[in-house]
């Protein structure tokens, strides 16, 4: 059984000089084990990170988010992490949510926890919100169970999930691929906790390209659905019930609750 006694926080970043110092100060207030992967930044991101008490991994050129996360997972596991909590480097994720995610991880051992942007969704740009909805529809099908906010980069990966690091997927597809493998191959529960949507007008333009990246994610997911088989049963399992939410503060009306010790996730449709 996994535990939360030695969590590591992994933060991939690319040209985040405007946000990274404030983000890291907030993160370090909650966890001392932090790994930052600078994925070939052309600004002062790496110089800023190098002055902070964190582990810095530098890529000489850009390899994409998937490879950045892969490098962070490997380093965290090498250092004896009991699990990995990922966050984006642009300040979209609030370090104040770290204790809530780790509390959920303690309550639901061996469970992948997603910080789902279910609050203040109106702050999301319309194109991004629609792209995320399409991805949720497709990736949930791939998982054979409903999953809230499959595109969120703020997640807790138990050690067994982090060990899927060598899965064959790149860039933004990597996170979808791990979700599907966690659900299908590990039969690991997935629970989401509500977090706010944070899209500041002053933030740098997202590296995520809705049309290109969602097309890649959906295409990958389609072939995973075919691989596992029972296509119709998987679809029904993914869309006939709502996702499982851990919401002790009742911030999301009518959320399907996660019960202590039981996630409420249906078993994934198996091939």
Q: How do residues 94-139 score in pLDDT, each as one tens digit?
A: 999 999 999 999 999 999 999 998 887 666 666 767 888 888 999 9
Q: Is there a domain that residue 111 lies in?
A: yes
Q: What's the CATH code of the domain at 194?
A: 3.90.550.10
pLDDT of res. 263 = 41
Query: Residue 222 sits in which domain range?
Result: 7-257
What six digits make up the tokens of 12? 């991939």
Q: How do residues 204-222 score in pLDDT, each as one tens digit?
A: 556 666 668 788 888 899 9
pLDDT of res. 262 = 38
pLDDT of res. 120 = 72
User: Which own/partner contact pairs does 45-49 have at CB distance under 8 Å and 24+ positions apart?
Assistant: 45/13, 45/14, 45/15, 45/16, 45/17, 45/20, 45/89, 48/17, 48/20, 48/21, 49/13, 49/20, 49/24
Model pTM score: 0.88
**3 state SS of 252:** coil
12 pairs with which residues across the strands? Answer: 37
pLDDT of res. 261 = 37
List the chain residues with pLDDT less than 70. Answer: 1-2, 121-126, 128, 199-211, 253-271
Q: Is there a domain that residue 101 lies in?
A: yes
Q: Is there a domain that residue 2 lies in?
A: no
Q: Is there a domain that residue 209 lies in?
A: yes
pLDDT of res. 123 = 67
pLDDT of res. 62 = 93
Q: Is there a domain that residue 267 lies in?
A: no
Q: Is there a domain that residue 270 lies in?
A: no
Location of structure tokens 């409903």:
146
Overall number of domains in the chain: 1
pLDDT of res. 252 = 78
Q: Is there a domain that residue 230 lies in?
A: yes
Q: How many residues does the chain have?
A: 271
Q: Is there a domain that residue 1 lies in?
A: no
């Amino acid at each position: 059984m996994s535990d939360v006694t030695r969590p590591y926080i992994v933060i991939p970043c690319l040209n985040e000089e405007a946000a990274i110092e404030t983000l890291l100060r907030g993160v370090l207030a909650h966890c001392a084990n932090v790994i930052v992967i600078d994925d070939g930044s052309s600004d002062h991101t790496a110089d800023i990170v190098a002055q902070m008490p964190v582990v810095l991994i530098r890529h000489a050129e850009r390899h994409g988010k998937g490879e950045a996360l892969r490098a962070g997972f490997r380093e965290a596991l090498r250092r004896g992490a009991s699990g990995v909590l990922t966050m984006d480097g642009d300040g979209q994720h609030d370090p104040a949510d770290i204790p809530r995610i780790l509390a959920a991880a303690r309550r639901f051992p061996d469970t992948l926890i997603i910080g789902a942007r279910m609050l203040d969704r109106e702050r999301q740009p319309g194109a991004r919100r629609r792209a995320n909805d399409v991805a949720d529809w497709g990736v949930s099908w791939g998982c054979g169970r409903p999953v809230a906010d499959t595109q969120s980069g703020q997640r807790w990966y138990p050690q067994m999930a982090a060990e899927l690091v060598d899965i064959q997927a790149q860039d933004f597809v990597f996170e979808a691929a791990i979700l599907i493998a966690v659900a299908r191959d590990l039969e690991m529960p997935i629970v989401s906790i509500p977090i706010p949507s944070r899209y500041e007008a002053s933030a740098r333009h997202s590296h995520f390209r809705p049309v290109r990246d969602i097309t890649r994610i959906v295409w990958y997911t389609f072939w995973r659905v075919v691989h596992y088989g029972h296509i119709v049963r998987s679809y029904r399992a993914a869309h006939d019930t709502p996702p499982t939410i851990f919401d002790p503060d009742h911030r999301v009306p009518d959320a399907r609750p996660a019960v202590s010790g039981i996630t409420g996730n249906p078993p994934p449709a198996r091939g």
